[in-house]
Amino acid sequence: MSNETSSPATLAGRISPESHSGVNGDANGDENGDANSGVNSGVSKETRRKVVTASFIGNFVEWFDYAVYGYLAATISSVFFPEADRQAALLATFGVFAVSFFVRPLGGFVWGHIGDRLGRRKALSLSIVIMSVSTFCIALIPGYASIGVMAPILLLLVRIVQGFSAAGEYAGASAFLVEYAPANKRGLYAAVVPASTAAGLLLGSLIAALLSTVLTTGELHEWGWRLPFLLAAPMGLIGRYIRTKLEDTPAFQALAAEDHTVKTPVFAMFRTYRRQLIIATGAVLLNAVGFYVILSYMPTYLSEELGFGAAESFLATTIALASYIGFIFLTGIASDRFGRKRMLITASLLFIVLTVPAFMLLDTGNFLVIVLVQILLGGMLTLNDGTLPSFLAELFPTRVRYTGFAVSFNLSNALFGGTAPFMATLLIGLTQNKVAPGWYLVAASVVSLVAVLFATETSKKPLRQE
């Protein structure tokens, strides 16, 4: 794991502005001032460090909880579904994975309302508790052999609660960081969110690889798969504690102090910012499909479709995740320098051209080639993922920022992200073509490209407060 993932405080120190005095700086000074309409001009360097650390750890905990299911999908399918047909059981498992996403747009509306009406901190502190409790409950559900059809039903219910919780996390953490960040570093600060998400995935992948290596197949199926889910409770308590020690963002506090918060942010968003909502939903599509195909579904693809051992599959994905985390911060810096549109357009074009050849190379059977291909795909994905949080946050003004981000992000993920593993498995079954997931990813890239082309550049402008 990179230094950034193992030490969020160190990361925060690196991206916090150096101390310089000046009329445009903050209490400790921003080297280039802050153009966020002056609302966070009194934020200290130490406060920003705490914000980065809290955002990293909280998001890390939520997405570790949420992603472990994907890494253990093959095992979970044999525990919760009858194995008369292996592919049918796997499809059912990914179907449960997908259904949990369908509640995310609803969660986006609810968490957006809480975040824009009552505050970002309140929404984030509550969501992490719901996620941790629901994840812990998965470890307690008996398997199909014990309680029959009730096992997958209970699994589905808990996954729905997880989906509802996750709907507020990515958007809230991104808005939180962007509203605290110096104007010239919003892309870098917001890159903490996908980095911490990948760090959560990385820990999940490491644990899954360890369990697959240390335990026998019988032990893994009987009780070993439950261990990662049991970690959710203590990790969630730590994340909540850290978040409750922070104040809300200066931008939100300024709105609240002047009583300018919107009573119904959802209606305000649909009434005034429909164009931004459509652009944002389309722009998220590459992230939605790419993230879950490349970073979550890939171990299952390698083991179930290409015949690699579980340990090898998890190891390849673990290496790719570690490189992804390193690349993501470089993308954040680049988006601050070159602009959000240029980075997002470049990502889409690269996926359109290179995805299918990359999937063809995965079928060579060479482990080194597979690792290099996954690093390539992960690096391409960072061009999108490292830019998207700041892009989406900047599209919407402060009074509907959480809602606009949450609704667009979760709508696209519900329709295409959560269904990506299911669609990949289904397309392979229908076409008998192992490259089918690559074509699905190309289609998502085309849609994202079109959406971003209609967007305006936001990186050099002050955050909108109206």
Mean pLDDT of 389-404: 93
Using alpha carbons, list the distances in angstroms from residue 456 to 348, 394, 448. 17, 10, 14
Contacts 24+ apart (CB under 8 A), 4-10: 4/195, 4/325, 4/326, 4/329, 5/195, 5/196, 5/198, 5/199, 5/202, 5/325, 8/52, 8/53, 8/56, 8/57, 8/60, 8/196, 9/49, 9/53
| Contact indicator for 109, 97 with CB cutoff of 8 Å | no
User: Rounded to whole angstroms, how far apart are CA atoms 157 and 356?
Assistant: 36
Please report the pLDDT score of residue 385 as a whole number: 92
Non-local (6+) Cβ contacts of 229 within 8 A are 65, 68, 135, 136, 138, 139
Q: What is the pLDDT of residue 384?
A: 94
Rounded average pLDDT over 61-71: 72
Which CATH code is given to the segment(s) 45-241+248-453? Answer: 1.20.1250.20
Residue 433 has pLDDT above 70, yes or no: yes
Q: Is the pLDDT of residue 88 over 80?
A: no
Six-digit token pair at 24?
């445009």
**pLDDT 10s digits, 92-128:** 777 776 777 788 889 999 999 999 998 888 898 888 8
pLDDT for the residue numbered 406: 94
Mean of the per-residue pLDDT values for the chain?
A: 82
Contacts of 192 (CB under 8 A, 6+ apart): 11, 15, 52, 55, 56, 59, 173, 177
Query: Residue 40 — pLDDT band, cuts 50, 70, 90?
Result: low
Residue 281: its pLDDT value, please? 94
**Alpha-carbon gap, residue 270 to 268, rounded angstroms:** 6
Q: What pLDDT, on the 0 to 100 scale, is given for residue 132?
A: 84
Tokens of 183: 């104007």
Mean pLDDT of 273-300: 88
Identity of the amino acid at 193:
V
Contact 262, 400 (CB under 8 A): yes
Position 450 pLDDT exceeds 70:
yes
Angle at 17 between CA 455 and CA 329, to 5 degrees: 50
pTM, full prediction: 0.80
Percentage of the chain exceeding pLDDT 90: 29
At 349 the pLDDT is 97
pLDDT for the residue 87: 64
Q: Which helix (H) or strand (E) holds 217?
A: helix 217-222
Q: Output the CA–CA distances (angstroms, integers) from residue 20 to 48, 83, 443, 451, in the order listed.
A: 15, 64, 48, 40
Cα–Cα distance, 283 to 443 (Å, whole number) = 13
Q: Residue 9: pLDDT above 70? A: no
User: Measured between alpha carbons, how far is 437 from 46 in angstroms, rounded to an integer?
Assistant: 45
Please report the DSSP string for 333-386 in residue order.
Answer: HHHHHH-HHHHHHHHHHHHHHHHHHHHHHHTT--HHHHHHHHHHHHHHHHHHHT
Give per-residue pLDDT as tens, 134-182.
888 988 999 888 888 888 888 888 888 888 888 888 899 999 999 999 8
Rounded to an integer, the average pLDDT of 201-225 is 83
C-alpha dihedral sign at 93, 95, 101, 106 = negative
Measured between alpha carbons, how far is 142 from 159 in angstroms, rounded to an integer?
15
> Beta-carbon neighbour count of residue 353 at 10 Å?
12
> How far is the C-alpha of 424 from the C-alpha of 437, rounded, in Å?
5
User: Does pLDDT of 17 surpass 70?
Assistant: no
CA atoms within 13 A on the CB side of 127: 36
pLDDT(2) > 90: no
The one-letter amino acid at 141: I
Mean pLDDT for 273-283 is: 94
Number of other residues whose CB lies within 10 A of the CB of residue 179: 27
What tokens appear for 390 in the block? 């700041």
Q: What is the predicted pLDDT for the residue at 461?
A: 86
Contact 347, 384 (CB under 8 A): yes
Q: Which residue has the higher pLDDT, 30 or 190?
A: 190
Distance CA 395, CA 379 (A): 25
- Asked whether the predicted pLDDT for residue 315 surpasses 60, the reply is yes
Burial category of 235 from C-beta neighbours within 10 Å (exposed 0-12, middle 13-18, buried 19 and up) = buried
The predicted pLDDT at position 13 comes to 46
Looking at per-residue pLDDT, the higher value among 335 and 211 belongs to 335
Q: pLDDT value at position 200?
A: 85
pLDDT for 193-211, tens place per residue?
A: 999 988 887 887 788 778 8
Res 83: pLDDT: 66
List the structure tokens of 307. Answer: 């015949």
